Structure 1
Amino acid sequence: MATPARNNHASSVQIQEPRTRSPPPPSPIAFKEQQGRPPPTTQQTITGKLFRNLFKGLLFSQLTLTSLLVIVLTIRGLILASSHHFHPKKWYPPLLASVAVSGVASLTWQCIFIYNPSRALRATFWLSPILTCSVGILLVLIGSAVDAGVGAVFVLFAITQSLYGCWITPRLEYTDKILSLSTAFPPPRTREVVTLSIVISVVYSGFLVTGIGGATSTRTNLDLLFISVILIGLAWTMQVLKNAQQVAISRARYVNFAHGEDMDAWSALHVTVKHLIGSICIGSTLVPVIVLIRGSIRSVNLMSGSSDEVMYSGADCFSSLANKVVTCGNRWGFVHVGTYDKGFVEASSDTWLKFRSVNGLEKVIDSDLSSSLCFLSAVSVGSVSSLTAGIWMLLIHKDYALEVTLYAFIIGYFTGMVALAWLQACVSAYYVAYSEDPHSMRFDGTIPQCIHRLQMLRAHRDNRERERQEIDESP
């Protein structure tokens, strides 16, 4: 995937031709076997293999059962539609159109990141709140109390995004540099891998929409359960698809960062799908849960700014818990899953311990905005999709507007998330490779400078806190 030479930050890094050869990491890849299965670095336990096979079986069982359920619901819905006052010609076109729009928007969004990541980064943080607020206003215009309540939630979410965008403004410059450095030279055929992932997302989502419509046609309590099952299956499948892409591209990118070798993204994807789906399924289950837990803990810590001793000890306890939880599962572990064929929990633990072994790197990673960028980009795609379906439904059949708008938002969000997995994969590979050899000549001074700046800020805050305590203790 060619990248224009306009990238300002990327030009300063030497990743193709290093000046010196740095020592390899403890378990280097055998580059002559790049097209085959990644060599495991540790003896895999029977329990680990069992869980991999179990989750792999769960994935394929879920896909099979969901497909059968969708087919049955679709056929039943078409047969019984006339007797339950359901209008397929009014319900399906807006939602299917929004699914197609999500694919187009996702392709457009990632192209913008390829050609101008700096502007795309800043645009995301102001465009996402605007689009989210627009969805909220649309829902309020529908008229009912329920619609207005859901619309108010979207408006509140938009306000939260705006406040967050103001809060993280000082960190945009560093994130811009990291994005430019890590995505400057994507692995060959990355474009094909990303496009295939988006097409699969759109086709699979469109297929599930037919089942949701079939369940909507009768609207029984059992049908609500069926719709919930389909949406949960959609969420997990999209997570697996995103993380499979992330494992493949991060593996290829890591090979370049750590060893100066090029690896084809398509070949890496073939190896990933053939050998690593079990670990990816485990990670796709654990990471969202752990991210939610850790995010909640960090929010509690931010709100516990009181000097009260009980509050302080509680915040300290939460911080300790967050530090332990993140070692059990994090997205950086996918790099070692693809590179060394490790189990996901082991890979997550090893990568995070590597981060902690480099003084100040853990704080730098916590301050990086690439994950927030991908999240808000996905929210933007979801908002565009929901506006497409919602406005259409508002004009032709207001009764369906709320549910169709929400379905479109969910589908658009996951499609957008899949589209930008390659970006997160490149950033993850950059950090993991740096943690294993911080003194490599393939890396410039971006991370060390950020570490120094954060240490200076922390020292300044500590001095201010010490002065405040001395003033309070003085007679």
Structure 2
Amino acid sequence: MAEPVVVQGQEVNYGSATNVQHHEQQAKCQDPLFAPLFYIDIIAIVAVAILRGEGALNSQYFSEEYQGYYYSALLGGVVGLILSGLGLQVMMCIPETLIKASLIFTVIMSAFVMVVAFLNSNWFAAILGVLFFLLTCCYAYCVWSRIPFATINLVTAITAVKANCGITVAAYIFTIIACFWSFIWAIAMLGVFDSAYTCTNYETRTGCTVSGSGYGYLFLLFLAYFFGHQVFQNTIHVTIAGVVATWWIAPDEASSCCSSAIWDSLKRSLTTSFGSICFGSLLVAIIQALRALANTARSQDDGILLCLAECILACIQGLIEYFNKWAFIYVGVYGMGYCESGSNVMQLFANRGWESIIADDLVGNTLFLVSLVVGGLTGALGILIEWLAGWIDEDNPGDSKLMAFGLGFIIGVVLCSILMSVIASSVNAVLVLFAEKPAEFQQNHPDLSARMRQIWSEIYPGSV
């Protein structure tokens, strides 16, 4: 038996049926200082939208130039939600096919980039493209045999979601909330536009640059926006982890569309674990806001230092998001604090020697491909809507079609990514729970457990 680790003051032996049960969480608010920051964030943006946004909404410029964008965004949001739901159903029906398609898509895209570089006689980019294409082909060759491993994890996660399909409704609700948040934030952004930017012509908003104090306004606006979206997304992540844990340990409590596991897990996410969610979300939001600020500065002064700063921030963001992905599983399963959760889950994988397993993110590539497809379809429908309705400024027809596609694509990708988090969170929870509670899985879901044990043993001998 593997060495035990300490979880909430109790010794946990892997494979033991005496592990700490997820429903034995202490009724204690974790990281309570960070939840009020989220409430302040919401109140501040709503206040700015009400106090400063009214003038922007009533302005002639807004009514003539921006109104069409909002119509397109709202309709694109509805279309994106529908297509995201369809994508989720497809994901549930043909998981292995989609995993293979995503891997092939990665190779095709690397080849496409290489060919474009050669056609444009950009020899430096072409050389990098060749190297990237060869590396991508090697990666695909090496991990192709591991597709069954990714598939069985995905199938197990999908089985848990199907048994508690009401969790997808919660994902839709938080997606809709995220849409309204984006809308309110956009109004607030317009309300402080004149304070953040200095324009040569304010009527047409041309020749605009960020003023000295404008960077402070933009940072606060970017921080508020990303903080809100991170909290919405991570709340669903934590909720799903709790639901999957209940399905794993006590399936009788998590075997219907609106099972008690969904409500209990959602309640914990919005109460005792909400501070931990806000803590981790704020860390990522700060880095995202700094990246957005650096990108804005680069649009005015494309300096090497700004480019370097943006690259460094991107790396830091990736590390924190990776940490959050696993830390929030423990937040949802055990109700631990944010830092304690991250420490325990990393220690768990380190003890089991599964660092290489969690690095094979084939499922993540598949979810990304589905999001891209939904974004592309939403963008194409955006062009159709613009062609029929002509909501966007028609002075430059080519630009209006491009803007319609770009707006629809971004909305589709964002909405589908939030909904795909249902599957991503379930897969992550399955990995953690199978590492820590294989005995409970064998007892409650013997068929799936046998398949997982067989495939894991074949792909990673000695891991089980």
Q: TM-score range by the shorter chain?
A: 0.5 to 0.7
CA distance in 1, matches of 2:276, 2:357: 27
CA distance in 1, matches of 2:392, 2:35: 42
Q: Which residue identity lines up with residue 450 of structure 2 in the other structure?
A: D
Partner residue of 2:79?
101
Give the 3 Å change call, closer, same or farther, for CA 397–91 of structure 1 in structure 2.
Answer: farther
Give the 3 Å change call, closer, same or farther, for CA 30–66 of structure 1 in structure 2.
Answer: closer
Partner residue of 1:198?
175
* Matching of residues 20-59 of structure 1 within 5 Å: 23-30=16-23, 38-39=25-26, 52-59=31-38
Partner residue of 2:5?
none
Mean CA deviation greater in 237-246 or 227-236: 227-236
Q: Which residue identity lines up with residue 428 of structure 2 in the other structure?
A: S
Q: Which residue identity lines up with residue 191 of structure 1 in the other structure?
A: T
Deviation, structure 1 residue 60: 1.2
Mean CA deviation greater in 423-432 or 226-235: 226-235
Q: Which residue identity lines up with residue 159 of structure 2 in the other structure?
A: A
Aligned 8 A contact 2:231 2:278 in 1 = yes
CA distance in 2, matches of 1:416, 1:274: 26
Partner residue of 2:433?
433
CA distance in 2, matches of 1:401, 1:229: 32
Aligned 8 A contact 2:223 2:285 in 1 = no
Give the 3 Å change call, closer, same or farther, for CA 128–61 of structure 1 in structure 2.
Answer: farther
Equivalent of residue 77 in structure 1, options 56, 64, 72? 56
Q: Secondary structure of 1:64's partner? A: helix
Q: Which residue identity lines up with residue 437 of structure 1 in the other structure?
A: K
CA distance in 1, matches of 2:287, 2:459: 29
Give the 3 Å change call, closer, same or farther, for CA 91–452 of structure 1 in structure 2.
Answer: closer
Aligned 8 A contact 1:336 1:351 in 2 = yes
Deviation, structure 1 residue 103: 1.9
Partner residue of 2:264?
267
CA distance in 2, matches of 1:194, 1:266: 13
Give the 3 Å change call, closer, same or farther, for CA 415–85 of structure 1 in structure 2.
Answer: closer
Partner residue of 2:424?
424
Aligned 8 A contact 2:268 2:274 in 1 = no
CA distance in 2, matches of 1:327, 1:211: 27
Give the 3 Å change call, closer, same or farther, for CA 337–326 of structure 1 in structure 2.
Answer: same
Equivalent of residue 62 in structure 1, options 41, 49, 59? 41
Aligned 8 A contact 2:146 2:459 in 1 = no
Partner residue of 2:394?
396
Q: Deviations over 1:306-330 (max 9, x none)?
A: xxxxxxxxxxxxxxx99xx789934
Deviation, structure 1 residue 262: 2.4
Q: What is the alpha-carbon root mean square deviation over aligned residues?
A: 4.4
Q: Deviations over 1:244-297 (max 9, x none)?
A: 111112112112224555242133112211221110112224468999xxxxxx
Partner residue of 1:147?
none
Equivalent of residue 248 in structure 2, options 251, 257, 260? 257
Q: Deviations over 1:46-97 (max 9, x none)?
A: xx95xx2332122111111122223345322233324x89523433322332
CA distance in 2, matches of 1:119, 1:233: 39
* Matching of residues 346-361 of structure 1 within 5 Å: 346-359=340-353, 361=354
Partner residue of 2:358?
365
Deviation, structure 1 residue 108: 1.9
Aligned 8 A contact 1:103 1:202 in 2 = no
Q: Which residue identity lines up with residue 192 of structure 1 in the other structure?
A: V
Aligned 8 A contact 1:279 1:344 in 2 = yes
CA distance in 2, matches of 1:351, 1:80: 52
Deviation, structure 1 residue 423: 0.9
Aligned 8 A contact 1:90 1:396 in 2 = no
Q: Deviations over 1:362-392 (max 9, x none)?
A: 2222114223333343344444444444673
CA distance in 2, matches of 1:172, 1:246: 24
Equivalent of residue 450 in structure 2, options 444, 449, 471? 444
Give the 3 Å change call, closer, same or farther, for CA 172–416 of structure 1 in structure 2.
Answer: same
Q: Which residue identity lines up with residue 277 of structure 2 in the other structure?
A: I
Mean CA deviation greater in 371-380 or 217-226: 217-226
Aligned 8 A contact 2:45 2:188 in 1 = no
The total of aligned residue pairs comes to: 366
Partner residue of 2:304?
none
Q: Secondary structure of 2:20's partner? A: coil
With normalisation by structure 1, the TM-score equals 0.63
Give the 3 Å change call, closer, same or farther, for CA 367–124 of structure 1 in structure 2.
Answer: closer
Could you list the runs of 5+ residues in structure 1 that have no partner in the other structure? 1-21, 32-37, 135-151, 292-320, 457-475
Give the 3 Å change call, closer, same or farther, for CA 402–70 of structure 1 in structure 2.
Answer: farther
Q: Secondary structure of 2:16's partner? A: coil
CA distance in 2, matches of 1:434, 1:425: 14
Partner residue of 1:279?
276
Aligned 8 A contact 1:190 1:266 in 2 = no
Q: Which residue identity lines up with residue 91 of structure 1 in the other structure?
A: Y
Aligned 8 A contact 1:379 1:413 in 2 = yes
Q: Deviations over 1:328-351 (max 9, x none)?
A: 934122122122221112111111
CA distance in 2, matches of 1:327, 1:65: 26
Partner residue of 2:231?
240
CA distance in 1, matches of 2:417, 2:243: 20
Give the 3 Å change call, closer, same or farther, for CA 103–29 of structure 1 in structure 2.
Answer: closer
Give the 3 Å change call, closer, same or farther, for CA 171–239 of structure 1 in structure 2.
Answer: farther
Q: Secondary structure of 1:431's partner? A: helix
Q: Which residue identity lines up with residue 234 of structure 2 in the other structure?
A: N
Q: Secondary structure of 2:179's partner? A: helix
CA distance in 2, matches of 1:210, 1:129: 41
Does residue 341 in structure 1 map to residue 339 in structure 2?
no
Aligned 8 A contact 2:273 2:337 in 1 = no
Q: Which residue identity lines up with residue 279 of structure 1 in the other structure?
A: S
Deviation, structure 1 residue 177: 1.7
Give the 3 Å change call, closer, same or farther, for CA 85–57 of structure 1 in structure 2.
Answer: closer
Give the % identical residues.
18
Aligned 8 A contact 1:333 1:344 in 2 = yes
Aligned 8 A contact 1:183 1:426 in 2 = yes
